[in-house]
Structure 1
Amino acid sequence: MNYRLKLIVSFALLISLAFGIGGTLLISSSYYSLLGEEESAIINEYETLQNNLMMINHFSSASSAQNMQELIDQMVERNMAHWQALSIKSSGETILESGDQSLILNYVNSTKEGTYSYVHINEGSSRRLLLYSKMSTKNDVLDLRASFDLSTSYKQWKSQLRMFWAIYVMVVILGVAVAILFANILTKRLQSLTNATKEIAGGNLSMRTGLRTDDEFEQLSRDFDIMADQLQENIQQLKEDVQRKENFMGAVAHELKTPLTSIIGYADLMRQGGLDEGDRLTAANYIYSEGQRLEKLSHKILDLLLMEKDTFTLRKISMRSFMEQILTTTYPLARKKNVNLVVSSDDVYIFIEPDLAKSLLYNLIDNAIKATPEGGNVKVIARGIKGGCEFDISDTGCGMENKELAKITEAFYRVDKSRSRAQGGAGLGLTLCKRIVDLHNGNMVFTSKPGSGSRVVVQLFGNMSQEVDYEK
């Protein structure tokens, strides 16, 4: 049974039971209340008759049959006699009869003198109340019997029941119609959510419900759409990650293929022999340089893979001492190319991962030196900022177009491919830098203008788990 049918059946049953039970109890209560009132009136009338008869027989010295008949006639005349049948006997002989005696002949009751008893008689649709009593007089004991009609209350009750059941059927029909309408409204909203779920399951990740009902269904719809947005974003992110990895692997394969082809070619020439001393030296130098480039490439790839898996702990170190180490490492590169390298630093303590930060600055300064012509300048400024540190590296090199800036952190991307290959670059340095910056919850911003040099500002923040390690 589906949800819509369950709603209809439940609502219809609720209305049927509530109206049916409530209406039946109400009508029955009304009937028994009216019946009780009618019985009380009958008993009062019977007691009045009994008391009057006893008074007549008590004060009369002669036969009181005529007096009793006069009493009965007076009660009838005054509309105080509502019995169907009445019988007064003395010592088994009938003194007075009124009405249809068959209504009381078949019912013989015994009771003590001075009291009365009654019994309900139900015959088909007829309802009667039969009363019987014995009254002591000066000369005899009178036997009084009377039958009263109760059919009016019963017929009224039956009429009310028939009317109620007619109304009950109409109410149930109306309730079922309302239940169907109500179920359609509810299930329409649920159907909208179901359809959206099927659409998303079928691959339509842009499907949204967008219900506006100002109730819990709207809240459910809003939560569903938020979930769908997050799902679409996650799947898109997965697709992008897969695409980046595919591009990365393709680029790795290409970068490995080119030097390996040259190495195999020169090695084959050397193996075959026939080369003079100069050609052999040229081939050996090429094999050596390409081997070094492959070694650097493998180290960069290994660093990237390690940063994807490992966790790192920040250490508290002296910025000035750290920058002196960086200068010691990069100064020979600048001197070899005759580039003026200037490094300045604040005398503060910072929280960083030293080995990763060294790799970051080495790559950035190395790129700046490579991009700067002979006699140019590379300037490095290290300063402490709120919550972290900042490194500002600028050069007077050839610069870049704005369209190149968005791509330079992509794996294996080179602005000048011929220069990068000649200098042994693999195009992974800035990719590695970006990953290091991300691990420090920082940011890296490049600015450049062709012919005017480039500038990169890196900010690192100590938000990872910190281990206090003082290094002077």
Structure 2
Amino acid sequence: MKFFWKCFFTIIFICILCCSIGSYFLITTSFASSLDQEILIAYDSVDIVYYSIRNELQEISDMQDHSIFSDIEDLSSVQNEWVTKTAEGLTLRNVVGDMSFRISDKNKKIVFSSKFNKLDNDIITYISRESRGYEIVKNDQEYYIHSVRSSDLLNEQYYIEIFRDVTPIFESRVSQYETFLKIIGVMLLFGCVFTFVICKWLMKPIHKLSRVAREISGGHFEQRVIVKNNDEIGNLANNFNLMAANLEEKINELKEEASKQETFVACFSHELKTPLTSIIGYADMLRSKKMNREQMVLSANYIFEEGKRLESISMKLLEIVILKNSKIILKEISAIDFFESVKGIMIPIFQKQNIHFSINAEKANLMIEPELMKTVCINLLDNARKAVESNGQVSLCGRLEENNYIINICDNGKGIEQNELNKITQAFYMVDKSRARIQGGIGLGLTICDEIIKLHGGTLKFQSTPQKGTCVFISLKGADAIE
């Protein structure tokens, strides 16, 4: 069952249930209150009959000479006759008319009855001396309160019974139930209409959420839900939009990663294809053709060079894999000593190409892995060397900023376009492929540098202006100043 119909039927059921329970208790309470009042009136009525008959019998008893009954064996029958005659001569009225009553002796024999001769008087069995009680009896379609009182008349026990008609109370209850059912029917009709409209209105934002979710599942990750409410559904919509934004970002990242992997595989295949083609070609020449010694040495040299190139690619890829899955041990080393060791390696190379190389480093203690960090600096300085012409300038500087040590390598070479800066750390990516191949580059140096800096918990940033030069900034944590 749909959530809409669950809400619809739940609201209708709760409304009908609450209304039914409330109406039932209201009708029942009203009926019980009216019945209690009639019972009190019935008790009062039976008392009126008792006192009226007792007073009449007292007057008769005072006028008679009781000595005449001394020879009569059945005094009880005479007393019953007096009670009967007194009751027959008694006329009592109330607001609804004559009061119907009945008198029975102690043996449950009916002495007098103005009505209801066919109704039993078994209730007398449960009435003790000088007490009273009642029961509800039904005669055909009429209801009566049968009220009984035990009384002493002429020194004998009699039972006075009153039958009070309470049919209107029961008819009123039935009428109230019928009216209630009609009201429930009308309420059900209008309640269904209003509940349907309200549920539709409440479900509208959820339908929008569902529609947008379907569109997102279909690949339209830019879709969002328009939030107009500040209630729970509005919060749900906001959270849904936040989830969709994060999902879109993750999907874009996955697409970018997939694109990088495709590019990596394509570049790797291309890098392998060129040396392999050369190796196969020269090997085939050595195998199938007669060549003089000079040609054989030249062909073997080509095979050797391309083999070394393949070895270089393999070793650098292996280095990247190892770096991604390794942990390093940092050592404390003087920044001045570290810069001097790098200078010692690079000075001959720069002097050979007539490139001006300068170093300027502030004193500090660095927490680094010296050999790996030396690899980073050498790679970056070598890239700077390739970017500048003869008589160019390359600088290696270091400065302390709070607890961070900033290493920057700058050159005045060709520079890099802004749209290329975010790609240069990708494997096999080369800004100028033809120049890079001539200079022996394969596009893995900056990838290795980036992985080493990540292992140190630092950052690697590039700033470049075409035809003016490039600066690389390395930020290392945990540096201490030396006084």
Scaled to the shorter chain, the TM-score interval is 0.7 to 0.9
Residues 83 and 146 of structure 1 are in contact (CA less than 8 Å); yes or no, is this contact kept in structure 2?
Answer: no
Inter-partner Cα distance in structure 2 for 1:458 and 1:88: 119
Partner of 1:433, secondary structure, is helix
Partner of 2:116, secondary structure, is helix
- Check if 1:224 corresponds to 2:237: no
2:363 maps to a residue whose letter is D
Inter-partner Cα distance in structure 2 for 1:93 and 1:407: 119
Residues 395 and 453 of structure 1 are in contact (CA less than 8 Å); yes or no, is this contact kept in structure 2?
Answer: yes
Following TM superposition, by how much is the alpha carbon of 1:422 offset from its aligned partner in structure 2, in angstroms? 2.4
Following TM superposition, by how much is the alpha carbon of 1:89 offset from its aligned partner in structure 2, in angstroms? 8.7
Partner of 2:225, secondary structure, is coil
Inter-partner Cα distance in structure 1 for 2:231 and 2:140: 58
Residues 443 and 460 of structure 1 are in contact (CA less than 8 Å); yes or no, is this contact kept in structure 2?
Answer: no
Residues 350 and 388 of structure 1 are in contact (CA less than 8 Å); yes or no, is this contact kept in structure 2?
Answer: no
Inter-partner Cα distance in structure 1 for 2:135 and 2:144: 8
Following TM superposition, by how much is the alpha carbon of 1:308 offset from its aligned partner in structure 2, in angstroms? 3.1
Following TM superposition, by how much is the alpha carbon of 1:120 offset from its aligned partner in structure 2, in angstroms? 2.8
The match for 1:45 is 45
- Indicate the larger mover: 255-264 or 281-290: 281-290
Q: Which one of 378, 394, 399 corresponds to residue 383 of structure 1?
A: 399
Residues 118 and 132 of structure 1 are in contact (CA less than 8 Å); yes or no, is this contact kept in structure 2?
Answer: yes
Shift in alpha-carbon separation, 1:271–1:90, aligned structure 2, 3 A: closer
The match for 2:72 is none
- Indicate the larger mover: 63-72 or 280-289: 63-72
Inter-partner Cα distance in structure 1 for 2:453 and 2:417: 23
Residues 205 and 233 of structure 2 are in contact (CA less than 8 Å); yes or no, is this contact kept in structure 1?
Answer: yes
The match for 1:266 is 282
Q: Unaligned regions of 5+ residues in structure 1, if any?
A: none
TM-score, scaled to structure 1: 0.83
The match for 2:192 is 176
Partner of 2:33, secondary structure, is helix
Following TM superposition, by how much is the alpha carbon of 1:223 offset from its aligned partner in structure 2, in angstroms? 1.8
Residues 376 and 452 of structure 2 are in contact (CA less than 8 Å); yes or no, is this contact kept in structure 1?
Answer: yes
The match for 2:452 is 436
Residues 45 and 80 of structure 1 are in contact (CA less than 8 Å); yes or no, is this contact kept in structure 2?
Answer: no
The match for 1:294 is 310
Inter-partner Cα distance in structure 2 for 1:325 and 1:352: 14
Inter-partner Cα distance in structure 1 for 2:353 and 2:191: 93
Corresponding pairs, count: 457
Inter-partner Cα distance in structure 2 for 1:136 and 1:272: 150
Partner of 2:408, secondary structure, is strand
Inter-partner Cα distance in structure 1 for 2:322 and 2:387: 28
Residues 46 and 161 of structure 2 are in contact (CA less than 8 Å); yes or no, is this contact kept in structure 1?
Answer: no
- Kindly, what percent of the aligned residue pairs are identical? 28
Q: Which one of 120, 131, 135 corresponds to residue 107 of structure 1?
A: 120
Residue by residue over 1:201-249, the C-alpha shift from the partner in whole angstroms, topping out at 9 and shown as x without a partner, is 3333233333433221122222222222222222221121111111111
Following TM superposition, by how much is the alpha carbon of 1:447 offset from its aligned partner in structure 2, in angstroms? 2.0
Following TM superposition, by how much is the alpha carbon of 1:146 offset from its aligned partner in structure 2, in angstroms? 3.6
The match for 1:343 is 359
1:103 maps to a residue whose letter is F
Partner of 1:420, secondary structure, is helix
Inter-partner Cα distance in structure 2 for 1:115 and 1:392: 115
TM-score, scaled to structure 2: 0.81
- Indicate the larger mover: 269-278 or 86-95: 86-95
- Indicate the larger mover: 23-32 or 300-309: 300-309
The match for 2:63 is 62
- Check if 1:307 corresponds to 2:328: no
Residues 396 and 407 of structure 2 are in contact (CA less than 8 Å); yes or no, is this contact kept in structure 1?
Answer: yes
Shift in alpha-carbon separation, 1:53–1:459, aligned structure 2, 3 A: same
2:384 maps to a residue whose letter is A
Alignment of 1:244-259 (within 5 A): 244-259=260-275
Shift in alpha-carbon separation, 1:199–1:405, aligned structure 2, 3 A: closer
Shift in alpha-carbon separation, 1:31–1:222, aligned structure 2, 3 A: same
Inter-partner Cα distance in structure 2 for 1:117 and 1:395: 118
- Check if 1:412 corresponds to 2:428: yes
Inter-partner Cα distance in structure 2 for 1:139 and 1:370: 142
Residues 293 and 426 of structure 1 are in contact (CA less than 8 Å); yes or no, is this contact kept in structure 2?
Answer: no
Residue by residue over 1:97-125, the C-alpha shift from the partner in whole angstroms, topping out at 9 and shown as x without a partner, is 7xxx3424543465677555544321233
Residue by residue over 1:105-163, the C-alpha shift from the partner in whole angstroms, topping out at 9 and shown as x without a partner, is 54346567755554432123311123455654559877744432111222222222221
Inter-partner Cα distance in structure 2 for 1:160 and 1:96: 38
Following TM superposition, by how much is the alpha carbon of 1:360 offset from its aligned partner in structure 2, in angstroms? 1.2
Residues 345 and 383 of structure 1 are in contact (CA less than 8 Å); yes or no, is this contact kept in structure 2?
Answer: yes
Alignment of 1:13-92 (within 5 A): 13-60=13-60, 61-62=62-63, 72=90, 76=93, 79=94, 82-86=97-101
Residue by residue over 1:366-402, the C-alpha shift from the partner in whole angstroms, topping out at 9 and shown as x without a partner, is 1222333334332211223233221121234444555
Following TM superposition, by how much is the alpha carbon of 1:36 offset from its aligned partner in structure 2, in angstroms? 0.8
Q: Unaligned regions of 5+ residues in structure 2, if any?
A: 65-81
Residues 259 and 290 of structure 1 are in contact (CA less than 8 Å); yes or no, is this contact kept in structure 2?
Answer: yes
